[in-house]
Amino acid sequence: MDKLKNKLGFICDMDGVIYHGNTLLNGVKEFVEWLYNNDKKFLFLTNNSQKSPRELKEKLKRMGLEVGEENFYTAALATASFLKSQGASTAYVIGDAGLTNALYEVGISINDVDPEYVVIGETENYNFESIRKASILVNRGAKLIGTNSDITTPTESGEVPACKALVAPVEYATNRKAYFVGKPNPLMMRAAMGRFHAVGIHSADVAMIGDRMDTDMIAAIESGLDPILVLSGVSSRETVQKFPFRPRLILNGVGDVARDDK
């Protein structure tokens, strides 16, 4: 634990690490207080594309947790950054405001007639008509993008379908494979690490705390970060045994870091 506590920076997943749905997980307040009290740089990184950093800030505030807007980075922002780097100007979007706003902010307009890209993220407005339209557009030549490759996401009621599950029908209908931007894609991790590099903190000094072996831990290992798994979300100790790689440390939740100080 001492090795973890000596890290200068922390990248933390949100769903299953900080909260489930609208419920803050045990020990999170104490952990965030520990980060601030020890002058740690931190970034809450989420593959979920539904909310903007401002909305995530407000969501945590409603739960009684104050975190600055600058401490969030989402798969929607990473996806928008990627499409801008590809010279995109139009996209058909299946997703919520966090994704569409991120695309607008980099100059990409929404187009359901002849878009260059079809972009799919998490949404509660998923329906057959959107799948039908997306499939037609991809068959006409639009490139298929998923904001992240999570199949499920944890909620208060249990695991529910996430982005990759929503993209699958379009992939099957068009015989095209999507390109997924979020974790564990190094694109998103490099963008996140750019926040730390700006203040002189490098990968060896950063821990990645997540609840998924298939995204968070792979992302940490391949990006040279300290891989820390928490059991408050998707993965369990039994899950770990199914993978050919290991986290360096397994915690019950992020609160363990603060409790170890007492």
Q: How far apart are CA 35 and CA 9, in angstroms?
A: 9
Q: Rounded to whole angstroms, what are the CA distances from 88 to 82, 105, 107, 148, 181?
A: 9, 13, 9, 19, 15
The type of residue at 170 is V
Distance CA 4, CA 257 (A): 8
260 is catalytic: no
Distance, CA of 77 to CA of 96 (rounded, Å): 13
Owner of token pair 């307040």 = 29
Query: b/e for 226-245, b at 16 or more Cβ within 10 A?
Result: bbbbbbbbbbeeeebeeeee
The DSSP letter of residue 260 is T
Q: Within its chain, how far is the Cα of 188 from the centroid?
A: 9
Q: Is 13 a catalytic residue?
A: yes
Query: Three-state DSSP class for 145?
Result: strand
Contact 152, 234 (CB under 8 A): yes
Residue 10, number of CB atoms within 10 A of its CB: 24
Given the residues 15, 211, 226, 256, the one annotated as active site? 15
* Cis preceding linkage at 184, omega within 30: yes
DSSP assignment, residue 181? -
Report the catalytic residues: 13, 15
